Structure 1
C-alpha cells in the first residue's frame, strides 16, 4: 500500500516521553505537546503511514500497547516507577528509556524517528545512534529561553541546556515550530541549514466561527485570556490594561478547577492586582475549562488576549483565529508568525499595559475592522495551520532525511 501516489508508506516512531497522546482523550492533563503529538500522529496516519508513539508508563495498570485510532498505536515504555512524575524529575530514567527503545527497534526498526522535547531527544538519540536510524527532533520549548525569562524560578534540571545542544547536534534535522526558534537554535550553535520550520496545527473543524457561543452576560465588550495560570502568560498585564478600557470585562479561563481557585497562589496574586487597579468587578476567573467549552468561549469574546512574556509557539492565537475572533498578542516567539499585525489582530511589545490597552481599544472601537481581522485570521488558519498541511510538511522533512539513505521498503 502506498500513500499519496507512488511514495512508499512509512513506519514512523514518535517519541514523547512525558506527554502521552492518550491524555488528550480525558482532557484533564492534556497540554500543548500531548495535543500536538496526538494530532500529528493522526494526520500522518491519514496520509497512509503507520505511526507508533512511545511514551513512559505512568500507571501500573497501563497496558503495553493501546490503539489510539486506525494507523496509530501508543507503546508504553517501563522506564522508572509506574506512576506520575513531574517531567523535571524524569531525567534519571531517560537512559533506561533509550535502552528499551533500542531493544524494541532492533526487532523491527521504524523508517524514521521523530522525538518531542529534549529528554525524548536524548533517549531517541541513544537508540538511533546504535541502530543507525534517521532522527528528527522538535523541542517544543528551549531551556535557554526559559532560563532567560524565569531565571532562578526555572525548575529544569541543570543538564537541560547542554543536553538540548547535544540533541540538536546529534539528530539529523530539527523541526522548529517558528522562525524565532531558529534564531535561538543558531545562538546555541545549531546551523540553520539543519533546521526546518513546520508550525503547530489547529483543528479548524472543532475551532470554527460556527457553533455554540458561551453566555457573555450583560457586558458591552468581552475580553478573554485563556491558558495556564502561570506568571509568564501575562494575565497580570491584561488586568493592568483594564483601567484604560472602561467598557470592557475580562474573563481569565484556565488554572485549577473552579472550586480550588481561592487556594491558588497565582489567582490570589491576580485578584490582588485587580483590587489595586479598581477593576475587581470587571474580572472573572473561571478556573479550568473542559476542552469542549473552549470554542464557545472563543466565539463569545470580542478580542482574545495573548500577552505572554515569552511563548515558544502559542496555540491559543491559532484557536482564536480559527474561531474568527481577533487576537491581541505580544510580539514574541511563535506569535510573531501566527498573528499578522493589523490584519488578523495586533502585535504589541511585551510587558507594556499601555500598548496592550491601546491596541485592544482600537479594535473595540471599530467593529468592522474587528470583523475583518476575525475573517482574515480564519483564512490564515485554513491556508497554513490545518493538521493536514502540518503533516504534509512534516512528511517532507522525513523524506528528505531518507533521500540520502538506501531505498525504504514499503511497510506491510
Structure 2
C-alpha cells in the first residue's frame, strides 16, 4: 500500500489525520490476518522515525524520504510525489516488487504508477475523496492543487482497477470517463468488536439536567457541518450537543473552527447546551458514542464517513446528511434518518422523532448494529479487497498467456 500523507501510525484528530489513516491501518491488519504480507509506504514526516516499523505481525510501515522530513499539509505534497515514486521504484528493485500495489489518495496513485511503470506490478487505486466533488462543494475554499480533478481522471483510467468506497463515488468516476467495468465498490469498514452496543455493566456518563444527548464526531473543519447541529439546538430545548474532535479539550476555543462554533452557540443563546470534548482517544470512542441518544453527521459532502458506521456498530441511531457514502451506510427509516445538508430544521425534526420515541430509537439502533456487522466488518471488507487483488492478478496472467500464444 502507498499512503503518502496518511500513516497508519499517526495520532488521529489532526487536520489531515482521520478516516484514511484508520482505513489503511485496519485494512492492512485484516489482510495480514488472511495470510497476506502487507507493507505500507508513507512519507517520512519526522527525521527521527525509523525506516521500518512492524505495526503487527504481517504488517510493516516503511517511511520513505520524499521532500523535507517534517509534517506538511497534504495539499503541499504534490511536488514530492516524483521523488516518492522514484524511491518506491528503488526499494522494489532492491528488495523485490510486490504482487499488487494499492494506492490510497490521488497523490499516492501518482507515486505508485511511477514506481510500477519500471517494476511491473498492477496498481489498484482508492481515492478516498475525489477532487471533482471537493471542488463542486467547496469552490473557492478548495485548497487542492490546480488540476487535481484532471489528474485523478487520468489515474483512474490508467490503473488496473479502481476501488470506490460507495456507489456515489462510482457514479462520479463514470462521469469522469472511467468505465464502470474498471471499478469495484468495496466500502470502508468498522471494527465491530471495538465498537459494540452497551452491556449492562457499562458506565454511562451522566447527562446534564436530564437532557437528551446529540453527539457530533469529526475533525473541526467547516465542511463537517457541525454548525448545522448548533443551529438545530434552539428547536430542541431538551437536547444538549456534545462535539468530539479537534485539539485537546482545553484548546478547542483556540482553534479557528472551535471559536466559530462557540460564537455561533453564544449568538443563538444555546452555549449552555454545547459541550466541546476535544480530541478523544480511539479506545474511549465507543463509550462516548454509547452515551448519546442520537449521533449526527451533517457535513456538506462526505466521500464516505466513518462515524455513522462506528455509531451503528455501537447500536446508536444516526441522523446524517444525504450525501456521499452516507447514502449507502445509513438506511433512511431503518437504521437512521437522512436529511438534506445545511438544513437545521430538517435535522431538528429528525432528532425530535428519535428522542421522542425510545422504542423507535432502539429499533433503529438494533438494525444499525446488525447491518454494520453483516456488511461493514473489517474481516468482510478485507475479504472483498483481497478478491479484487486476485481478480487483477488473474486478469494479468490471462493477458500474459494470450500474448505468449499470439507470439
Which bracket does the TM-score occupy, shorter chain normalised? over 0.9
Correspondence for 1:3: none
Match among 1, 6, 9 for residue 22 of structure 1: 9
Provide the residue aligned with 2:211 in structure 1: 220
User: Does residue 68 in structure 1 map to residue 59 in structure 2?
Assistant: no
Match of residue 399 from structure 1:
390
Of stretches 318-327 and 53-62 in structure 1, the one that deviates more from structure 2 is 53-62
Alignment partner for residue 155 of structure 1, among 135, 139, 143? 143
CA contact (8 A) 1:234 1:309 kept: yes
Q: Which residue is 2:378 aligned to?
A: 387
Counterpart CA distance in 1 for 2:36 and 2:118 is 24
CA contact (8 A) 2:97 2:120 kept: no
Residues 215-239 of structure 1: CA distance to partner in whole angstroms, max 9, x if unpaired? 3333231110111111111111111
2:74 to 87, 90, 93: 87
Counterpart in the other structure of 1:167: 155
Q: 2:228 aligns with which of 213, 230, 237?
A: 237
Superposed CA RMSD in Å reads 1.4
Cα separation, 2, equivalents of 1:45 and 1:377: 28
What's 1:118 paired with? 106
User: Match of 2:401?
Assistant: none
User: Normalising to structure 2: TM-score of the pair?
Assistant: 0.94
| 2:19 aligned with 1:32 | yes
1:253 matched to 2:240: no
* Structure 2 residue 126 is the aligned partner of structure 1 residue 138: yes
Is the Cα–Cα contact under 8 Å of residues 253 and 262 in structure 2 kept in the other structure? no
Q: TM-score, normalised by structure 1?
A: 0.92
Please list every run of 5 or more consecutive structure 2 residues that lacks an aligned counterpart in the other structure.
399-407
Where do residues 260-299 of structure 1 align in structure 2 (5 Å cutoff)? Answer: 260-299=251-290
Distance (whole Å) between structure 1 residues aligned to residue 247 and residue 9 of structure 2: 21
CA contact (8 A) 2:13 2:219 kept: no
Deviation at 1:212, TM superposition (A): 4.2
Contact 2:292 2:316 in 1 (8 A): yes
Deviations 1:353-373 (A, max 9, x none): 111111111111110010010
Measured against aligned partners, the alpha-carbon deviations of 1:185-214 in whole angstroms (never above 9, x if no partner) come to: 111111111111000011111111134433
SS in 1 for 2:208: coil
CA distance in 2, matches of 1:56, 1:262: 31
For 2:68 and 2:252, locate their aligned partners in 1 and report how far apart those are by CA, in whole Å: 31
SS of the residue 1:270 aligns to: helix
| 8 Å CA contact 2:309, 2:329 repeated in 1 | yes
How far apart are the structure 1 equivalents of 2:211 and 2:52? 51
Match of 1:103 among 90, 115, 120: 90
CA contact (8 A) 1:102 1:131 kept: yes
